[in-house]
Structure formats: structure tokens, C-alpha cells
Amino acid sequence: MTLSHLDKAGKASMVDVSGKDVTERIASARVTVKLNSEAFEALSENKIKKGDVLAVANIAGINAAKKTSELIPLTHQINLRHVKIEFVLDKESSKIEITTEVKANDKTGVEMEALTAASVSALTIYDMCKSIDRTVEISNLRVIFKSGGKSGKFENE
């Protein structure tokens, strides 16, 4: 098995994608944030002292997707066409499910951008809610969909 991010000498290197075709690339990621009931209620009612948590988490996630190549050393700089972040609140479990979707027309996929957006959105919720809940849990980060390129479509709901 050959690892794509190692050169012939076994050193880390960026994959050369210059020979690949430009195709529409789409990726979605999902992560769950669990809050205690007090923090979840404050977030739901927009009563967190730092401000509108979901609005800030949305912008943070979008910015993170755009800066992925600055954060993850061997990723390519990609000209993103669209970043969408959705938050689904489940009052019964005090959980927030964050789903991201990232699109680009490029030579390499956008899974890392989708994962980075989900991660930073979740971390932003943690940061804004930690004064009420020091037990915030972020879990189950994963790619749930990918399409484009030679490997085609992947679904992992």
C-alpha cells in the first residue's frame, strides 16, 4: 500500500493533483454537541451573554472552511463555491447536530473543509457556552457525504 502524502524518501509531502481533472466536488460532515439542560435552554432562547451562539458558530464554520489549507498542513488551497452550515436542536437530549456542506469545482475533494467547518462550529458553541456548562461534549465528527472526482460518490449517514 502506498501512502499518498509520503514522497519516495518517506517524508511528508503534498499530493500533486496537477494531472487530475477539475470536477464539481461536494462534501458534507456532521458533529454533535451535547450541552447540559441549562446551557441548552440559554442557547435556545438566545440568552447566552456572549451573543447569538448559532449565528457566531455559523460564521466561524464558514471562515474555518475557507482557511482549511492554512490549518491542515498538506491540504490544498481550494476556491470554495459554497459553504452551508445547519444546526438542528434536540431539546429532549440537549444536543445540537451540526451538518456542513461544502462545494467547489477543483482537482481535489473538499472533505477536509467540511470537517473543519463542523469542528470549528462545534468549538465555537463550546467557547460561548462554557461559562454555563463546563461539561460540553463534542462527539461523532465524520464525513457523511462526498462526491466528485475519480473515487465518485460516498455516503455515510
pLDDT of residue 14: 75
Grid coordinates representing 53 are: 451562539
Paired residues of 97 in beta bridges? 32, 88
State how far the Cα of 101 lies from the Cα of 85, in Å rounded to an integer: 6
Domain 24-155 CATH class label: alpha beta
Mean pLDDT, rounded, for 84-98: 98
Q: What is the dihedral of CA 80, 82, 85, 86, to 10 degrees?
A: -160
Among 36-40, 68-72, 78-82, 152-156, whose mean pLDDT is lowest?
152-156
Exactly one of 7, 52, 106, 127 is catalytic; name it: 127
Residues 138, 33 contacting (CB under 8 angstroms): yes
Higher-confidence position of 12 and 128: 128
Mean pLDDT rounded to a whole number for the chain = 93
**With 60 as the cut, is the pLDDT of residue 104 above it?**
yes
- Binned at pLDDT 50, 70 and 90, residue 157 comes out as confident
pLDDT of residue 149: 82
- Binned at pLDDT 50, 70 and 90, residue 3 comes out as low
Residues 144, 155 contacting (CB under 8 angstroms): yes
Whether 7 is a known active-site residue: answer: no
State how far the Cα of 20 lies from the Cα of 137, in Å rounded to an integer: 39
Residues 87, 78 contacting (CB under 8 angstroms): no
Q: Give residue limits of the domains in the chain.
A: 24-155
**With 80 as the cut, is the pLDDT of residue 138 above it?**
yes
